[in-house]
Amino acid sequence: MNRTNRAVLLIHGGAGTLLRSKMDEVQEAKYRGALQAILLAGEAQLAAGAAALDVVVEAVRQLEECELFNAGKGAVYTAAATHELDACVMDGSNLRAGAVAGLSRTRNPVLAAQAVLRHSKHVMFVGAAADALAASHGLEQVAPDWFGTTQRLEQLQRAQLTDAGALLDHDGQAPIVEQSKFGTVGAVALDLQGHLAAATSTGGMTNKAVGRVGDSPLIGAGCYANDATVAVSCTGTGEAFMRSCAAFDVSALMAYQGLSVQAAAEQVVLEKLPKLGGAGGLIALAANGEFSLPFNTAGMYRGHVTLGNAPVVAIYRDES
């Protein structure tokens, strides 16, 4: 059982150049409202005794359904004007995990990752086989163009017209300066039974090469959970997070050096990742209920709620 009786949920919706001076008030209110609603729903689940894994999956599913974020509906386009979506879930109570990459038809990639965890002896499926597995377990399939939006298509066209290469997340999306904004979404939770879980989902990079996979679906890179230490979900320049095994590194620093979750998370995000050109952030929740939400960019869409307390959401660096 959770001896602290402190059930907690943390979520993120991407990090990057998020400045008050460039943020439209109406759009900002939409982001804050979406984050708050998801946190409130998660708190209700935790209060009812739901398992951490179920809570993070539902939180990420809701983020996938919100066009404001680069996951599920509203995902960015590849260089071929297609969508390839990735997701991962991990249960800290038994280290079981499920991951998918390159989905093009499954409405909610996080549910496909959960299906891998629940129904397969394997950990990861990719492409058409991943969609087929999801469909075989009753998950809704959609036409590939269901994920797209006019805004995302315009974003791709701007990137290709300017020969900008692969752009991270919602690059160029007015009214925010988005040249450095990372749209992975994620959640971590501690339930009343004392178990941790993590989930991460993304549409990848605008104008990315077909077949490119980042850190989000990779255990230990963009997602990790272990009841002995911490649950982590990352967002940022995927290649740097992959090369540094960022999510697992937070756990390792806690386990091997005895660091607090804040010290471990900040060492990874503020010291190690920048040396590899890694921009972004992560959310990390320790087994004792303590948590950290560090990022090395101007802002990160983020929020947290502890059972019995009001949810807290933030975007900018100067917000606690």
Per-residue pLDDT of 197-218, as tens digits, reads 999 999 988 888 999 999 999 9
Per the prediction, the chain carries an average pLDDT of: 91
The pLDDT value recorded for residue 169 is 53
pTM score of the predicted model: 0.93
Instruction: Return the minimum-mean-pLDDT range out of 41-55, 142-156, 253-267.
Output: 142-156
SS (H, E, C) the chain: CCCCCCCEEEEEEEEECCCHHHCCHHHHHHHHHHHHHHHHHHHHHHHCCCCHHHHHHHHHHHHHHCCCCCCCCCCCCECCCCCCEEEEEEECCCCEEEEEEEECCECCHHHHHHHHHHHCCCCEEEHHHHHHHHHHCCCCECCHHHHCCHHHHHHHHHHHHCCCCCEECCCCCCCCCCCCEECCEEEEEECCCCCEEEEEEECCEECECCCCCCCCCCECCCEEECCCCEEEEEEECHHHHHHHCHHHHHHHHHHHHCCCHHHHHHHHHHHHHHHCCCCEEEEEEECCCCEECCECCCEEEEEEEECCCCCEEEEECCCC
Tokens found for residue 162: 């300017």
- Measured between alpha carbons, how far is 101 from 304 in angstroms, rounded to an integer? 27
| 217 within 8 A of 199, measured Cβ to Cβ | no
| Residue burial 88-115, b: 16+ Cβ < 10 Å; e: rest | bbbbbbeeebbbbbbbbbbbbbbbbbbb
The single residue of 78, 184, 200, 306 carrying the catalytic annotation is 184
- Measured between alpha carbons, how far is 236 from 222 in angstroms, rounded to an integer? 9
- Whether 127 shows a pLDDT value over 70: the answer reads yes
The pLDDT value recorded for residue 175 is 34
How far is CA 55 from each of CA 140, 272, 287, rounded to the nearest angstrom? 20, 30, 16
Beta bridge partners of 14: 301
The pLDDT value recorded for residue 160 is 83
pLDDT classification of 159: cutoffs 50, 70, 90: confident
The residue among 162 and 293 whose pLDDT is bigger is 293
Overall average pLDDT of the 246-264 stretch: 98
- Whether 256 shows a pLDDT value over 50: the answer reads yes
Per-residue pLDDT of 19-40, as tens digits, reads 776 778 898 999 999 999 999 9
The pLDDT value recorded for residue 182 is 60
For the question of residue 162 being annotated catalytic, the response is no
Tracing tokens 């701007």 back to the chain, one arrives at 158
pLDDT classification of 292: cutoffs 50, 70, 90: very high
The pLDDT value recorded for residue 158 is 83
Domain ranges of the chain: 8-316
Domain 8-316 has CATH 3.40.50.970: no
